[in-house]
Amino acid sequence: MAAEEAGGVSRTPACLCVLCGLPAAGKSSLARRVLSSAAQRGWRASVVPYDDLIPEHAFQTRGAEDGVKLQEIVKHTEWKLHRQAVLQCIEQFLEKPGVLAELPSSCQINMAAWEQCILPLLQPGYLGRSQAAGAPLLFLLDDNFYYPSMRYEVYQLARKFSLGFCQVYLQCDLDLCISRNQSRSKPIPTEVILEMVKRLDSPNPQKNSWETNSISFNTTDDLSECDMLRVMELISSALSNPLSPAEDNKEQKEADRLKCASSVIHQTDQAFRRHISEAMRTARDNHLPPDLMRSLAAQLNESKATFLLNLRREFLLEASFAQEEDIDVERVVKRAVDLFDHEKKEILLRIINENK
């Protein structure tokens, strides 16, 4: 394996642990406690704080992938590129621990912050013993990870290198998160947190089999020693049970992408039909005459057809879908339905006003 030839850590037990949840939910505090416990167990551990690694200006693009244009959902944004750059740094460290990551200028991250992440892992005296280099390796990825697709990218990296993978989701009352955030030296705007709540899709092992190795805690109160023991047992289990690399089956990947596209279009179509039925009921409740009812139905169905046509074009015809990237079906459907709902309301209001 290339990592072995380059002096990588492929033979060393290693784990990627995702710490996810709203801002100020307690992820950084948990990371510090895990670092302490990891040192006691003789593990090499490091926190990967996305907020420190990704340049501040890039945070302004986080909402871009939820913009008004539907195609922005499935295309790379600057924000996504920066996130992928963080994983590239981890990947290059796994392959060549002693070499700092070299990234394209288009997706730079804060390299000084990255050096701080890995510096303890490179120091011979980190564990106070000569066998430090062979000790289990733990990366704690500290970020909101509000979309499953964000967490899945970490899972893919763990699978590629046969690493352990696990997730810890911290759930905290919104008001408390906002209060904690406001007490920080650099608080996140409250409206950003409120928007994140709408988009947060927490780990769901029942829906996503790859999220099986996950646990969640309510952090309204501090985690107990028993809770910390559960976290360390989760990580220890992940270290002992690394993932198996996925086979490179291009035909199967293409079939999966087409299946994903069909699912998006089908689910969106069903949701649009429900919204049209609701609009027609509202029109009847407003006693619209038959001619306006027919006009309303025609305009709504025309709008639905246009939306679905754009979806098909995005997923089945354009090159963006040919790229190997995972599509969050529920997120795409939700965004499409939200956009259609907005247009539906405008059409309905216009028709009702014509009757006045």
**Residue-level pLDDT, tens digit, the chain, 356 residues:** 444 433 455 568 999 999 999 999 999 999 999 999 999 999 999 999 998 888 766 555 444 444 334 444 333 446 677 888 899 889 988 888 766 666 655 557 788 888 888 887 875 544 444 345 578 999 999 999 988 888 999 999 999 999 999 999 999 999 999 999 999 888 888 988 888 888 888 999 988 889 999 999 999 888 999 999 999 999 999 999 999 886 555 555 666 666 777 788 888 999 999 999 999 999 999 889 999 999 999 999 999 998 888 887 766 544 343 343 456 677 788 888 998 999 999 999 998 888 77
Domain ranges of the chain: 14-240, 250-354
- b/e for 171-191, b at 16 or more Cβ within 10 A? bbeeebbbebbeeeeeebeee
Q: CA-CA distance, 34 to 41, in Å (whole number)?
A: 10
- Triad 237, 243, 244: Cα angle to 5°: 145
Q: CA-CA distance, 143 to 177, in Å (whole number)?
A: 14
CATH class of this structure's domain 14-240: alpha beta
In the chain, the amino acid numbered 112 is A
Assess contact for 138 and 12: CB atoms under 8 A: no
Q: CA-CA distance, 209 to 288, in Å (whole number)?
A: 49
Question: What is the Rg, in whole angstroms, of the alpha carbon atoms belonging to the chain?
Answer: 24
Kindly state the tokens that stand for 106.
């288009």
Going across the sheet that includes 164-171, the strands are 44-49, 137-142, 14-21, 164-171, 214-218
